[in-house]
Structure 1
Amino acid sequence: MRRYTKAARTLFAGSKPHSVLELQAKADALIARRDWTGLEASINEMAIMADRSRNPELMQKAGQAFERLGNFARAAELRLTARRLRKGKNANEWTGENLGSDTLLIDLVEDDPRSLGRVIRHARLAGAAAAYAQSATIRAEPRLISILQRTFPKATVVPAQQDVIGDKHATFEDLAWVFGRDAEKLAADFVPLRADPGLVETFRKHYRSITDLPLVGLSWGSKSHTKDVPDFPEWARFIAQTQATFVSLQYGQIKPALRRLRNGNDARLIYDDSVDQMVDMDRFAAQVAALDAVVTISNTAAHLSGALGIPTIFLIDDNFQTAWPVIGDRTPWYPKGVVIRKEGRAWSVVLDEVGQRLSSILTTHSDAAC
């Protein structure tokens, strides 16, 4: 509270407060310099302005920044307030109390059904919330119903389009407020999603019939023009010098990309056309769970692998747009994952670091399996 009050005095001292554009420009400059201490102070000013002007969009932006900076409590507070300002406070909003015989409706529904990152990230919190009621229903995108139902058998999981009534209602923001304000506890309470064990074994046996090398999932590209990712020659070099057999986790029409990445050695990169994550997420989860490790940019494969508890290396660019941390190499959402950021380096240098970390992960995995 003392830091908040001091920042408020600074922000509103003098005859005219800073404008939103001025604060954003200041924040952008600090991000470019990777000055995270200065950025935290700047985002605090932004949050104060958002609070005083009751601006939900600015609150949301500040909340996202605070999460990347590791201040989960402030992030959860701002996002919950922003949602209440946008949609009004629901009289039936669940705030963490035991519900006894009352029913709980948990919404894991994104506005864009193609965007599953936040849904997957918050899924385990929905499972934790369901334990507070004798009857809990989780609404989710249809592709996720099977894996969520298997992981949380005491809840009823239904399609997002289905109308459900509950005595209490929980959203992403409510879940984060109740369970996600303490990063250490968030990591300690990690519960992995559970893939179909029969399918996992089937994939594992199939891939093991092809290679004796460690199996590493790989997702390399995105349709989003805002993401900075390694080019094909950099990925091809990484694949060629890594002692592993890679399994494509990439979505879309990828056969031209496969030719460039394999570079004449088809055995180094398996493409399994029996899996389509855009149609059957449960089968995709089983494929991922059959692997020894995963290397991926920020996308659905990253969130799913992390949520399954598979050792994962997340490659994160220098754009300040996602929930990945800017400090340290861990995220409490996925404690078995390693975050490697670009930090102004060439991607070839970053991939060299990925190779070193991957080697360590595979050695640890091999020792544990013995």
Structure 2
Amino acid sequence: MAIMADRARDPEMMQKAGQAFERLGNFARAAELRLSARRQRKGKGANEWTGEDLGSDRLLIDLVEDDPRSLGRVIRHARLAGAAAACAQSATIRVEPRLVSLVQRTFPNATVVPAQQNVVGDKFATFEDLAWIFGRDAERLAADFVPLRADPELVEIFRQRYRSMTDQPLVGLSWGSKSHSKDVPDFPEWARFIARTQATFVSLQYGQIKPALRRLRNGNDARLIYDYSVDQMLDMDRFAAQIAALDAVVTISNTAAHLSGALGVPTIFLIDDKFQTAWPVTGNRTPWYPSGVVMRKEGRPWPVVLDDVGRRLSSILTARSTLSSDS
């Protein structure tokens, strides 16, 4: 595919080939193809930053998606934006308004502005530039991980609130996505998983979920907490603090997955057998989120997969409990 894309100079094919190479672990080729695809579509700007010494040049880092609801790539690349900002005397990062506080707190030496604000820079960098400069080596990408920083006061508020409700470990759960093409466990399968797991779950699901909560709780409301004060569609800072207050997260591929991984919270990413652009084909780790574990369906029934998830989650919680006891 990559050879065909190069020959045809087809940016869409080059983009897909780049995604495939990243899933196969070849981050260098992936970055090359994606950068070529963007330049094929939009041309190479004279002021595009490619990693050279910036001197006194002002750097504008653009982390804005065409679809403001799609935050996965933004969250993945946020730490690369931080690395880029560290290379400049003056750096500005553009993000969706609901991400401004979170990114600003994590990278205080940069100026973080909402996407609608017009900003001028001497040099600019996009997702593809950042991946080309900082994301071509998977091992280095994992080793250089810098977690996003949730509001510590909010984290403590959420932690105390949930701890007052239970003495069991707190596990975030997100079971759905706006993409209806994804293969995910049905409600009875999730309800069985919740009932069999020694933990109290906290919903990280967005949207109108009251009917889903009834089915998942299955008469035991205390097993699945839903915090009405959090709306990730409006305020990612509260959502990040909620996640950071938890002991672990179990989630399908969605915004909750990317945010929990980027926060460094131990996370189990539940991946179906359909094409998933952000997750590796083999192995159970991704360098984007070193504290997470990728668990695939691999043709198995979901109850079997969720049994495996339960065992892995138990190990994560035991290790976390031991670490807390030792500290």
Q: Would you call these one fold, judging by a TM-score over 0.5?
A: yes
Give the structure 2 partner of residue 166 of structure 1: 121
Deviation at 1:222, TM superposition (A): 1.7
Map 1:82-101 → 2, pairs under 5 A: 82-101=37-56
1:209 alignment partner, one of 164, 176, 182: 164
Q: Secondary structure, in 3 states, of the residue corresponding to 2:289?
A: coil
The alignment status of 1:59 with 2:59, answered yes or no, reads no
Map 1:1-370 → 2, pairs under 5 A: 46-370=1-325
Q: Secondary structure, in 3 states, of the residue corresponding to 1:166?
A: coil
CA RMSD across the alignment? 0.6
Q: Secondary structure, in 3 states, of the residue corresponding to 1:133?
A: coil
Q: Secondary structure, in 3 states, of the residue corresponding to 2:251?
A: strand
Residue identity matched to 2:37: A
Q: Secondary structure, in 3 states, of the residue corresponding to 2:121?
A: coil
Report the Cα distance in structure 2 between the residues aligned to 1:316 and 1:53, rounded to whole angstroms.
32
Residue identity matched to 1:313: I
Residue identity matched to 1:242: T
Report the Cα distance in structure 1 between the residues aligned to 2:267 and 2:60, rounded to whole angstroms.
32
Query: Which structure exhibits the higher relative contact order, with contacts defined as CA atoms closer than 8 Å and separated by 6 or more residues?
Result: 2
Deviation at 1:96, TM superposition (A): 1.0
TM-score w.r.t. length of structure 2: 0.99
Report the Cα distance in structure 1 between the residues aligned to 2:127 and 2:181, rounded to whole angstroms.
24
Residue identity matched to 1:266: D
Note the residue ranges of structure 2 that are not aligned, 5 or more in a row.
none
Note the residue ranges of structure 1 that are not aligned, 5 or more in a row.
1-45
Q: Secondary structure, in 3 states, of the residue corresponding to 1:178?
A: helix
Report the Cα distance in structure 2 between the residues aligned to 1:220 and 1:50, rounded to whole angstroms.
36
Report the Cα distance in structure 2 between the residues aligned to 1:217 and 1:322, rounded to whole angstroms.
23
Deviation at 1:218, TM superposition (A): 0.1
Percent identical pairs in the alignment equals 86
8 Å contact 1:97–1:132 — kept in the other structure? no
Deviation at 1:321, TM superposition (A): 3.2
8 Å contact 1:110–1:116 — kept in the other structure? yes
Residue identity matched to 2:308: E
Q: Secondary structure, in 3 states, of the residue corresponding to 1:334?
A: coil
Deviation at 1:98, TM superposition (A): 2.3
8 Å contact 1:217–1:294 — kept in the other structure? yes
- Deviations, residues 94-150 of structure 1 (Å, cap 9, x unaligned): 111221211000000000000000000000000000011100000000000000000
- Deviations, residues 238-291 of structure 1 (Å, cap 9, x unaligned): 000000000000000001000000011111000000000001100000000000
TM-score w.r.t. length of structure 1: 0.87
